[in-house]
Amino acid sequence: MTHSPGARRLRRALILGLVLCTAAGTTGTAAGAAPSRHRPADLGPRVTVFDPSMPVSEIQATLDATYARQVDDEMGTQRYAYLFKPGTYGTPEQPLQIKVGYYTEIAGLGASPTDVRINGKIEAYNRCLADGGTGNCIALVNFWRTLSNLSLRIDAAGQDSCRASANFWAVSQAVSLRRLDVSGGGLSLMDYCTAGPQYASGGFIADSRLPAVTNGSQQQWLTRNSEIAGWSNAVWNQVFAGVVGAPDDAGFPDPPYTTLDTTPVSREKPYLFVDSRGRYQVRVPAARHDSRGVSWADGLTPGRTVPLDDFFVARPGDAVSTINRQLARGKHLLLTPGVYDVARSIRVKRPGTVVLGLGHATLTAVGGAVPLEIADVPGVVVAGVTVDAGLRESPALLRVGDRHGRDRANPADPTTLSDVYFRVGGPHVGRTNIALEVNSDHVLIDHTWVWRGDHGVEGFTEGVNGDTDRWRTNTGRYGAVINGDHVTATGLFVEHFQRYNTVWNGDHGTTVLYQNELPYDPPTQADWMNGDVRGWAGYKVGDRVRHHTLYGGGVYVFNQNNPSIHTENGFEVPETPGVRLHHVMTVNLNAGTIDHVVNGVGEAADTTRVGAPVYVAEYPVR
């Protein structure tokens, strides 16, 4: 029997049903793409550019057709970007109501989010994975989609009373909301209209002005550098950094809010826009320190503008040697939507280089390659790229800097990774030693999901033998290894790796929201031992580190393959005053045990308290 995508999170969703709270209130033209007259020739066949002069019905039909294909295509290879030129779309008589499926990017092409105005809705609903699409309706597997750089005036005309009650964005990891200005109704991060449970796990908002938000059943969420009219509900941990209107966290863990007045280090994701003369440009925002609120409140986001002519616009099938030659000439790199097989590293060597992916462009390792390597230079920005492991083990999937090289980092211009995602298994068998390796100093990781696949299309059998096969076949020892100093992560999601999911060896590191699930599939306790210690912590700070700060962290356990397995600590850190954890927890999802939260402190997250987090508000304990 083939392995059904989403099956394990399905089971997890059923378990969580008792413990999570709910809210009150081919050839030719690409499938789903508009005719070529609406598409710039140099952005490839999977990019469609809409103009305000186009009939709303034509835009709606194009987006509906793509959604119908992508709504269940969790492990597929199709990638799409839909870009809106400045202007207004949708009318009171005919609002534009968009549903967003897998590997789909919806973005405005304005210099400011207010330049593109959509009257209607842009939504992601639960997926119903049982009973012919009517049961087990969840958002736990709603991954890999993007919405950014536009204004949305919510108009629910024609929808039923429940659907009309909010704009729904029911998603989990590898999904970002950026540079949005939303008005005219509420935003709900869970879909309470679709039958069945409505659970979701993790999400990210940045640089957005939002109405009242209903969090609903989201387990962990990061909202950064935004403005919100209000926030309702929380499950395990909701983190706010530099957010105007953020809730107070004085009552932690009831409610489980973690609030930073400012974000220590931030840089907004680069975005494509069309200037007043119709030329395509890329705006590269500047880094900010101790920032608060949206970057566009006073006009154009501070930063630099790079003409699209300064980019090498790549398509799947382009040789890596060609890409590297263009990078060496001083070109930036724009990856159009699709899957790129990478048998030798794409090498970024020049300071300030921008690598921008559209439509979840995906680099797949071939022959054990490291798909993307960034030199020890300042100011490189990589955004909107997914990196997949291949059949032969790679030493790493993305490497920033050389551990033995000369670091030329610049604190004012950190190398930045924004919406960069990793997979080891899922669409195919994958193997790597490390997924993300950061050796340079002064690097900013702004939203990543580093995932060793706990489900996919590899064809493993179900049950114990299938899980054993997965443990031996989809191999990934470490998710994120941070060796550089002064590295900051805002939104670090790392899951299912076979040793430390995250190991932080660099000094003066900072993480704002950490979300982790330990692997589901160790066959025996002997397979899950760190020397004489039972298990590997979900977050490890190196023994020589003297300064480190984590705000808002969670480690979950669901040892589905062998529920008797123990993990000694969710977090493991050196005992020194400069290493501090603020608002951390462990939680049991109905199999296995985490004995302590951190360094022997905190009660066991075991099956006597399924779904009930064990919190440590401060470590060292004050």
**Residue 622 C-alpha from the chain's centroid:** 33
Q: How far apart are CA 129 and CA 126, in angstroms?
A: 9
Q: Kindly state the DSSP code that residue 194 receives in the 8-state scheme.
A: S
Strand ranges (E), 100-199: 104-108, 116-123, 127-130, 135-138, 145-154, 167-168, 175-183, 187-188
The helix/strand/coil state of 326 is helix
At 322, give phi and psi (nearest 5°). -65, -45
Q: Is the peptide bond before 255 cis (omega within 30 degrees of 0)?
A: yes
Q: Is 517 a catalytic residue?
A: yes
Pairing of strands 104-108, 80-84: parallel
Nearest Cα to Cα of residue 536 among 570, 494, 506, 574: 570
Residues 6 or more apart in contact with residue 606 via CB below 8 angstroms: 588, 593, 594
Q: 3-state SS of 207-239?
A: CCEEEEEECCCECEEEEECCEEEEEECCCCEEE
**Residue 102 C-alpha from the chain's centroid:** 13
Q: 3-state SS of 415-459?
A: EEEEEEEEEECCCCCCEEEEEEEECCCCEEEEEEEEEECCCCCCC
* Torsion angle (degrees, nearest 10) of CA 608, 612, 618, 620: 20
Around Cβ 129, how many Cβ atoms within 10 Å? 21
Is the distance from CB of 239 to CB of 493 less than 8 angstroms?
Answer: no
Q: How far apart are CA 208 and CA 186, in angstroms?
A: 14
**H/E stretch holding 570:** strand 566-572
Going from the C-alpha of 551 to that of each of 189, 428, 509, 556, 579, the distances in angstroms are 22, 34, 11, 17, 12
Q: Is the peptide bond before 523 cis (omega within 30 degrees of 0)?
A: no
Catalytic residue among 517, 568, 603, 618: 517
Nearest Cα to Cα of residue 554 among 499, 507, 612: 612
Q: 3-state SS of 483-547?
A: CCCCCEEEEEEEECCCCCCEEECCCCEEEEEEEEECCCCCCCHHHCEECCEECCCCEEECCCCCC
Could you tell me what percentage of the chain is helix, strand and coil, using 3-state DSSP and rounding each to the nearest 5?
A: 10, 40, 45
Q: How far apart are CA 139 and CA 393, in angstroms?
A: 31
The helix/strand/coil state of 385 is strand
Q: Which residues are catalytic?
A: 517
